[in-house]
Protein backbone atom coordinates (compact mmCIF):
# COMPACT_ATOMS: atom_id res chain seq x y z
CA UNK A 1 0.00 0.00 0.00
CA UNK A 2 1.34 3.38 -1.07
CA UNK A 3 1.05 5.87 1.82
CA UNK A 4 1.16 9.43 0.50
CA UNK A 5 0.53 11.24 3.80
CA UNK A 6 1.12 9.92 7.28
CA UNK A 7 0.09 11.82 10.40
CA UNK A 8 1.47 10.28 13.56
CA UNK A 9 0.32 11.18 17.07
CA UNK A 10 -0.24 14.80 16.16
CA UNK A 11 -1.09 17.04 19.10
CA UNK A 12 -1.69 20.78 18.89
CA UNK A 13 -3.09 22.70 21.86
CA UNK A 14 -3.78 26.42 21.74
CA UNK A 15 -3.22 28.57 24.84
CA UNK A 16 -6.93 28.22 25.59
CA UNK A 17 -6.54 24.44 25.88
CA UNK A 18 -8.53 23.80 22.69
CA UNK A 19 -6.98 21.92 19.80
CA UNK A 20 -6.40 18.31 18.77
CA UNK A 21 -4.84 15.36 20.59
CA UNK A 22 -3.08 12.25 19.32
CA UNK A 23 -4.28 12.34 15.70
CA UNK A 24 -2.92 9.42 13.66
CA UNK A 25 -3.92 8.86 10.08
CA UNK A 26 -2.46 7.30 6.93
CA UNK A 27 -3.73 8.53 3.57
CA UNK A 28 -3.12 6.36 0.50
CA UNK A 29 -1.93 7.73 -2.80
CA UNK A 30 -4.92 8.83 -4.88
CA UNK A 31 -7.30 8.68 -1.96
CA UNK A 32 -9.90 11.31 -1.06
CA UNK A 33 -10.16 11.31 2.69
CA UNK A 34 -12.56 13.57 4.60
CA UNK A 35 -12.20 15.04 8.06
CA UNK A 36 -15.79 15.24 9.30
CA UNK A 37 -17.04 16.68 12.56
CA UNK A 38 -18.95 19.56 14.13
CA UNK A 39 -17.60 23.09 14.12
CA UNK A 40 -14.72 23.47 16.58
CA UNK A 41 -13.74 19.78 16.66
CA UNK A 42 -10.27 20.49 15.22
CA UNK A 43 -10.54 19.81 11.47
CA UNK A 44 -8.88 23.05 10.38
CA UNK A 45 -6.18 22.61 13.02
CA UNK A 46 -5.20 19.27 11.44
CA UNK A 47 -5.34 20.66 7.91
CA UNK A 48 -3.27 23.75 8.75
CA UNK A 49 -0.70 21.54 10.45
CA UNK A 50 -0.37 19.48 7.26
CA UNK A 51 -0.03 22.66 5.18
CA UNK A 52 2.59 24.12 7.51
CA UNK A 53 0.56 27.10 8.75
CA UNK A 54 0.60 25.75 12.31
CA UNK A 55 3.39 24.15 14.27
CA UNK A 56 2.27 21.03 16.15
CA UNK A 57 3.25 20.58 19.82
CA UNK A 58 4.23 16.99 19.13
CA UNK A 59 3.86 14.27 16.55
CA UNK A 60 5.10 13.72 13.02
CA UNK A 61 3.81 14.49 9.53
CA UNK A 62 5.30 12.60 6.58
CA UNK A 63 4.53 13.25 2.93
CA UNK A 64 5.91 10.65 0.54
CA UNK A 65 7.85 9.25 3.49
CA UNK A 66 9.65 12.51 4.28
CA UNK A 67 9.03 14.63 7.36
CA UNK A 68 7.68 18.06 6.40
CA UNK A 69 7.67 19.55 9.89
CA UNK A 70 10.75 21.70 9.26
CA UNK A 71 9.53 22.79 5.81
CA UNK A 72 7.78 26.19 5.51
CA UNK A 73 4.31 26.19 3.91
CA UNK A 74 5.41 27.57 0.53
CA UNK A 75 7.99 24.80 0.19
CA UNK A 76 5.72 21.94 1.25
CA UNK A 77 4.36 19.64 -1.46
CA UNK A 78 0.83 20.73 -0.50
CA UNK A 79 -1.71 23.24 -1.80
CA UNK A 80 -4.74 24.54 0.02
CA UNK A 81 -8.24 25.57 -1.07
CA UNK A 82 -10.31 27.61 1.38
CA UNK A 83 -14.00 28.36 1.78
CA UNK A 84 -13.32 31.96 0.75
CA UNK A 85 -11.76 31.68 -2.66
CA UNK A 86 -8.88 34.12 -1.96
CA UNK A 87 -8.56 35.19 -5.59
CA UNK A 88 -6.98 38.55 -6.33
CA UNK A 89 -9.90 40.70 -7.55
CA UNK A 90 -7.77 43.09 -9.61
CA UNK A 91 -6.09 40.28 -11.56
CA UNK A 92 -7.51 38.32 -14.47
CA UNK A 93 -8.16 34.60 -14.20
CA UNK A 94 -4.98 34.01 -16.19
CA UNK A 95 -2.88 36.11 -13.82
CA UNK A 96 -4.44 34.53 -10.76
CA UNK A 97 -3.54 31.12 -12.13
CA UNK A 98 -0.10 32.16 -13.36
CA UNK A 99 0.98 33.76 -10.08
CA UNK A 100 2.30 30.64 -8.36
CA UNK A 101 3.85 29.36 -11.58
CA UNK A 102 5.78 32.59 -12.15
CA UNK A 103 7.24 32.29 -8.64
CA UNK A 104 8.40 28.85 -9.69
CA UNK A 105 9.90 30.43 -12.81
CA UNK A 106 7.93 28.33 -15.24
CA UNK A 107 8.47 29.29 -18.91
CA UNK A 108 5.66 31.27 -20.57
CA UNK A 109 4.83 28.65 -23.22
CA UNK A 110 4.71 25.89 -20.63
CA UNK A 111 2.57 28.08 -18.38
CA UNK A 112 0.08 28.88 -21.17
CA UNK A 113 -0.26 25.19 -21.92
CA UNK A 114 -0.79 24.25 -18.25
CA UNK A 115 -3.41 27.00 -17.78
CA UNK A 116 -5.29 26.00 -20.94
CA UNK A 117 -5.32 22.39 -19.77
CA UNK A 118 -6.46 23.13 -16.21
CA UNK A 119 -9.25 25.42 -17.46
CA UNK A 120 -10.40 22.56 -19.68
CA UNK A 121 -10.37 20.23 -16.67
CA UNK A 122 -12.58 22.57 -14.61
CA UNK A 123 -14.77 23.27 -17.68
CA UNK A 124 -13.94 26.96 -17.88
CA UNK A 125 -12.01 27.12 -21.14
CA UNK A 126 -11.77 30.63 -22.55
CA UNK A 127 -12.16 32.53 -19.27
CA UNK A 128 -8.52 33.66 -19.07
CA UNK A 129 -9.28 37.37 -19.47
CA UNK A 130 -12.16 37.60 -17.00
CA UNK A 131 -11.86 39.10 -13.54
CA UNK A 132 -13.09 37.22 -10.45
CA UNK A 133 -15.90 39.80 -10.03
CA UNK A 134 -17.36 38.67 -13.37
CA UNK A 135 -17.61 35.06 -12.21
CA UNK A 136 -20.22 33.28 -10.09
CA UNK A 137 -19.27 31.87 -6.69
CA UNK A 138 -19.03 28.37 -8.12
CA UNK A 139 -16.80 29.55 -10.97
CA UNK A 140 -14.55 31.45 -8.57
CA UNK A 141 -14.14 28.33 -6.45
CA UNK A 142 -13.31 26.32 -9.58
CA UNK A 143 -10.54 28.83 -10.34
CA UNK A 144 -9.27 28.50 -6.76
CA UNK A 145 -9.19 24.71 -7.19
CA UNK A 146 -7.43 25.12 -10.56
CA UNK A 147 -4.82 27.37 -9.00
CA UNK A 148 -4.08 24.70 -6.40
CA UNK A 149 -3.99 21.94 -9.07
CA UNK A 150 -1.42 23.87 -11.13
CA UNK A 151 1.06 23.60 -8.26
CA UNK A 152 0.95 19.81 -8.71
CA UNK A 153 0.85 19.16 -4.97
CA UNK A 154 1.52 15.71 -3.53
CA UNK A 155 -1.49 16.35 -1.29
CA UNK A 156 -4.35 18.77 -1.98
CA UNK A 157 -5.95 20.23 1.15
CA UNK A 158 -9.53 21.55 0.95
CA UNK A 159 -11.09 23.33 3.93
CA UNK A 160 -14.90 23.43 3.58
CA UNK A 161 -14.43 24.59 -0.03
CA UNK A 162 -18.10 24.41 -1.02
CA UNK A 163 -19.90 25.55 2.11
CA UNK A 164 -20.44 29.10 0.82
CA UNK A 165 -22.28 27.79 -2.26
CA UNK A 166 -25.99 27.05 -2.57
CA UNK A 167 -27.22 23.46 -2.30
CA UNK A 168 -27.54 22.70 -6.02
CA UNK A 169 -24.12 24.08 -6.85
CA UNK A 170 -22.60 22.26 -3.89
CA UNK A 171 -23.85 18.97 -5.36
CA UNK A 172 -22.38 19.78 -8.76
CA UNK A 173 -19.03 20.77 -7.28
CA UNK A 174 -18.81 17.48 -5.36
CA UNK A 175 -19.24 15.54 -8.58
CA UNK A 176 -16.70 17.71 -10.35
CA UNK A 177 -14.14 17.30 -7.60
CA UNK A 178 -14.59 13.53 -7.78
CA UNK A 179 -14.08 13.71 -11.53
CA UNK A 180 -10.95 15.85 -11.18
CA UNK A 181 -9.65 13.35 -8.65
CA UNK A 182 -10.21 10.38 -10.93
CA UNK A 183 -8.59 12.21 -13.87
CA UNK A 184 -5.55 13.45 -11.92
CA UNK A 185 -5.13 10.67 -9.35
CA UNK A 186 -4.44 13.39 -6.78
CA UNK A 187 -4.41 12.65 -3.05
CA UNK A 188 -6.89 14.90 -1.25
CA UNK A 189 -7.72 15.75 2.34
CA UNK A 190 -11.17 17.32 2.38
CA UNK A 191 -12.72 19.02 5.41
CA UNK A 192 -16.44 19.40 6.00
CA UNK A 193 -18.99 19.55 8.83
CA UNK A 194 -21.66 18.26 6.42
CA UNK A 195 -22.15 14.52 6.91
CA UNK A 196 -24.05 14.11 3.66
CA UNK A 197 -21.22 15.76 1.74
CA UNK A 198 -18.70 13.49 3.48
CA UNK A 199 -20.72 10.35 2.70
CA UNK A 200 -21.10 11.26 -0.96
CA UNK A 201 -17.56 12.34 -1.78
CA UNK A 202 -15.11 10.28 0.28
CA UNK A 203 -13.11 7.10 -0.12
CA UNK A 204 -12.78 7.14 3.66
CA UNK A 205 -14.11 9.38 6.41
CA UNK A 206 -12.35 10.43 9.60
CA UNK A 207 -15.03 11.23 12.18
CA UNK A 208 -13.73 13.82 14.65
CA UNK A 209 -15.17 15.09 17.92
CA UNK A 210 -13.67 17.38 20.57
CA UNK A 211 -10.15 17.26 19.12
CA UNK A 212 -9.86 13.50 18.71
CA UNK A 213 -10.70 10.81 16.14
CA UNK A 214 -13.81 8.70 16.80
CA UNK A 215 -13.64 6.46 13.74
CA UNK A 216 -11.86 6.05 10.40
CA UNK A 217 -13.69 3.94 7.83
CA UNK A 218 -15.42 3.92 4.44
CA UNK A 219 -18.71 5.85 4.15
CA UNK A 220 -20.58 2.54 3.93
CA UNK A 221 -18.99 1.18 7.09
CA UNK A 222 -19.47 4.41 9.04
CA UNK A 223 -23.12 4.42 8.05
CA UNK A 224 -23.75 0.73 8.75
CA UNK A 225 -21.46 0.23 11.74
CA UNK A 226 -20.82 3.50 13.57
CA UNK A 227 -18.30 2.70 16.27
CA UNK A 228 -19.42 5.24 18.84
CA UNK A 229 -22.66 6.84 19.94
CA UNK A 230 -21.28 10.13 18.63
CA UNK A 231 -20.68 8.70 15.14
CA UNK A 232 -24.18 7.17 15.22
CA UNK A 233 -25.69 10.54 16.14
CA UNK A 234 -23.67 12.63 13.73
CA UNK A 235 -24.01 10.58 10.54
CA UNK A 236 -27.31 9.91 8.81
CA UNK A 237 -30.77 9.84 10.35
CA UNK A 238 -31.10 7.67 13.43
CA UNK A 239 -33.65 6.77 16.12
CA UNK A 240 -32.40 6.38 19.68
CA UNK A 241 -34.11 4.26 22.33
CA UNK A 242 -33.17 3.19 25.83
CA UNK A 243 -32.78 -0.52 26.46
CA UNK A 244 -31.19 -2.93 28.88
CA UNK A 245 -28.98 -6.02 28.64
CA UNK A 246 -30.41 -9.18 30.13
CA UNK A 247 -29.17 -12.77 29.66
CA UNK A 248 -26.70 -11.40 27.08
CA UNK A 249 -29.41 -9.95 24.90
CA UNK A 250 -30.26 -6.34 24.27
CA UNK A 251 -33.86 -5.88 25.34
CA UNK A 252 -36.33 -3.19 24.33
CA UNK A 253 -39.63 -4.11 25.99
CA UNK A 254 -40.72 -7.31 24.24
CA UNK A 255 -37.99 -7.20 21.56
CA UNK A 256 -34.54 -8.83 21.88
CA UNK A 257 -31.37 -8.27 19.84
CA UNK A 258 -27.85 -9.76 19.87
CA UNK A 259 -25.21 -8.19 22.13
CA UNK A 260 -21.95 -8.54 20.13
CA UNK A 261 -20.14 -5.88 22.17
CA UNK A 262 -20.94 -7.68 25.45
CA UNK A 263 -22.41 -4.56 27.00
CA UNK A 264 -24.01 -4.71 30.43
CA UNK A 265 -26.75 -2.77 32.18
CA UNK A 266 -28.50 0.13 30.49
CA UNK A 267 -27.76 0.79 26.82
CA UNK A 268 -28.58 3.35 24.14
CA UNK A 269 -29.90 1.69 21.01
CA UNK A 270 -29.58 3.24 17.56
CA UNK A 271 -31.91 2.25 14.72
CA UNK A 272 -31.83 3.58 11.16
CA UNK A 273 -35.26 4.63 9.82
CA UNK A 274 -34.88 2.11 6.97
CA UNK A 275 -34.54 -0.67 9.55
CA UNK A 276 -37.90 0.07 11.16
CA UNK A 277 -40.63 -2.41 10.20
CA UNK A 278 -44.28 -1.42 10.56
CA UNK A 279 -46.97 -4.10 10.75
CA UNK A 280 -50.62 -4.14 11.59
CA UNK A 281 -52.25 -7.09 13.32
CA UNK A 282 -51.22 -9.07 16.34
CA UNK A 283 -47.46 -9.40 15.76
CA UNK A 284 -45.11 -8.85 18.67
CA UNK A 285 -43.41 -5.50 18.65
CA UNK A 286 -43.66 -2.09 20.20
CA UNK A 287 -47.18 -0.67 20.10
CA UNK A 288 -47.48 2.67 18.40
CA UNK A 289 -49.79 4.88 16.44
CA UNK A 290 -49.02 6.55 13.14
CA UNK A 291 -48.47 10.25 13.65
CA UNK A 292 -47.53 11.54 10.23
CA UNK A 293 -46.84 10.26 6.71
CA UNK A 294 -44.61 12.32 4.44
CA UNK A 295 -44.15 11.29 0.83
CA UNK A 296 -40.55 12.04 -0.16
CA UNK A 297 -40.30 10.91 -3.76
CA UNK A 298 -39.80 7.16 -4.12
CA UNK A 299 -40.10 6.55 -0.37
CA UNK A 300 -42.13 7.87 2.52
CA UNK A 301 -41.12 8.93 6.01
CA UNK A 302 -43.63 7.63 8.54
CA UNK A 303 -43.36 8.86 12.11
CA UNK A 304 -44.91 6.67 14.76
CA UNK A 305 -45.66 7.61 18.35
CA UNK A 306 -44.37 4.76 20.52
CA UNK A 307 -44.83 5.28 24.25
CA UNK A 308 -42.82 5.59 26.44
CA UNK A 309 -40.05 6.07 23.86
CA UNK A 310 -41.50 8.93 21.84
CA UNK A 311 -41.50 9.41 18.07
CA UNK A 312 -39.81 6.73 15.95
CA UNK A 313 -39.12 7.66 12.33
CA UNK A 314 -39.23 5.06 9.60
CA UNK A 315 -38.59 5.01 5.87
CA UNK A 316 -41.06 2.91 3.90
CA UNK A 317 -41.41 2.16 0.20
CA UNK A 318 -44.14 4.41 -1.17
CA UNK A 319 -46.50 1.67 -2.23
CA UNK A 320 -46.42 0.24 1.30
CA UNK A 321 -47.81 3.34 2.96
CA UNK A 322 -51.02 3.42 0.90
CA UNK A 323 -52.86 1.46 3.54
CA UNK A 324 -51.52 3.59 6.42
CA UNK A 325 -53.28 6.60 7.85
CA UNK A 326 -52.66 8.98 10.70
CA UNK A 327 -53.86 7.64 14.05
CA UNK A 328 -53.64 4.00 12.92
CA UNK A 329 -52.35 1.47 15.47
CA UNK A 330 -49.23 -0.40 14.31
CA UNK A 331 -46.63 -2.79 15.68
CA UNK A 332 -43.04 -1.59 15.36
CA UNK A 333 -40.11 -3.98 14.85
CA UNK A 334 -36.47 -3.44 13.95
CA UNK A 335 -34.46 -5.44 11.42
CA UNK A 336 -31.23 -4.09 12.89
CA UNK A 337 -30.40 -2.40 16.19
CA UNK A 338 -26.99 -1.13 17.35
CA UNK A 339 -26.35 -0.87 21.07
CA UNK A 340 -23.94 1.55 22.78
CA UNK A 341 -23.11 2.13 26.43
CA UNK A 342 -25.76 4.46 27.84
CA UNK A 343 -24.62 8.00 28.58
N1 LIG B 1 -5.64 30.40 16.84
C2 LIG B 1 -6.40 29.85 17.79
N3 LIG B 1 -6.26 30.18 19.09
C4 LIG B 1 -7.01 29.61 20.06
N5 LIG B 1 -7.94 28.67 19.82
C6 LIG B 1 -8.13 28.30 18.56
C7 LIG B 1 -7.39 28.85 17.46
N8 LIG B 1 -7.79 28.27 16.32
C9 LIG B 1 -8.76 27.40 16.67
N10 LIG B 1 -8.97 27.39 18.00
C11 LIG B 1 -9.90 26.54 18.75
O12 LIG B 1 -9.51 25.18 18.59
C13 LIG B 1 -10.62 24.34 18.39
C14 LIG B 1 -10.54 23.66 17.03
O15 LIG B 1 -10.65 24.64 16.03
P16 LIG B 1 -10.66 24.31 14.48
O17 LIG B 1 -9.52 23.41 14.17
O18 LIG B 1 -10.74 25.59 13.74
O19 LIG B 1 -12.03 23.50 14.36
P20 LIG B 1 -12.94 23.15 13.07
O21 LIG B 1 -12.15 23.47 11.86
O22 LIG B 1 -13.28 21.72 13.21
O23 LIG B 1 -14.17 24.01 13.20
C24 LIG B 1 -11.85 25.23 18.53
O25 LIG B 1 -12.30 25.14 19.86
C26 LIG B 1 -11.31 26.61 18.23
O27 LIG B 1 -12.06 27.60 18.90
MG1 LIG C 1 -12.62 24.78 10.28
- Ligand whose nearest atom lies closest to the CA of 23: 1
DSSP-derived 3-state class of residue 282: coil
Strands 204-209 and 32-36: parallel
DSSP-derived 3-state class of residue 284: coil
**DSSP letter, residue 130:** -
The protein residue whose alpha carbon is closest to atom 17 in ligand 1 is 42
pLDDT in tens, 251-278: 999 999 999 999 999 999 999 999 999 9
- The whole-model pTM stands at 0.93
What dotted CATH number matches 237-341?
Answer: 2.40.50.140
Q: Rounded distance, CA 245 to CA 254, Å?
A: 13
Q: How far is the CA of 36 from the centre of ligand 1 (A)?
A: 14
Q: Which of 12, 40, 189, 194 to mutate to test the pocket of ligand 1 (most atoms within 8 A of CB)?
A: 40
Q: How far is the CA of 81 from the centre of ligand 1 (A)?
A: 18
Could you tell me what percent of the chain has a pLDDT over 90? 89
The H or E element spanning position 169 is: helix 167-184
Contacts of 150 (CB under 8 A, 6+ apart): 97, 100, 101, 114, 115, 118
Class of domain 3-231: alpha beta
- Ligand whose nearest atom lies closest to the CA of 20: 1
Indicate the pLDDT class of residue 104, thresholds 50, 70 and 90: confident
Q: 304 pLDDT exceeds 80?
A: yes
**DSSP letter, residue 320:** G
233 phi and psi, to 5 degrees? -75, -35
Q: Please give the number of the atom of ligand 1 that sits closest to the Cα of 193.
A: 22
The protein residue whose alpha carbon is closest to atom 3 in ligand 1 is 14
The answer to whether the peptide bond before residue 266 is cis (omega within 30 degrees of 0) is no
Q: Where are the domains of the chain?
A: 3-231, 237-341
Amino acid sequence: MDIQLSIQNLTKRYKTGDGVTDISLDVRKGELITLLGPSGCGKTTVLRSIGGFLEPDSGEILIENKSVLKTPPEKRPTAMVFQSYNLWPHMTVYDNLAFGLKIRKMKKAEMDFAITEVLKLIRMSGSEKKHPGELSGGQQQRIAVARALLLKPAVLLLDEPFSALDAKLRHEMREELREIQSKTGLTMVFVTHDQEEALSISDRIVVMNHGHIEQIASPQEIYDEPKSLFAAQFIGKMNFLKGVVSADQVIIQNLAFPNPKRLTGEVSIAIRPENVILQDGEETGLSGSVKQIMILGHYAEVSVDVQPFGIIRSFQPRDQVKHLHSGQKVKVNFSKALAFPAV
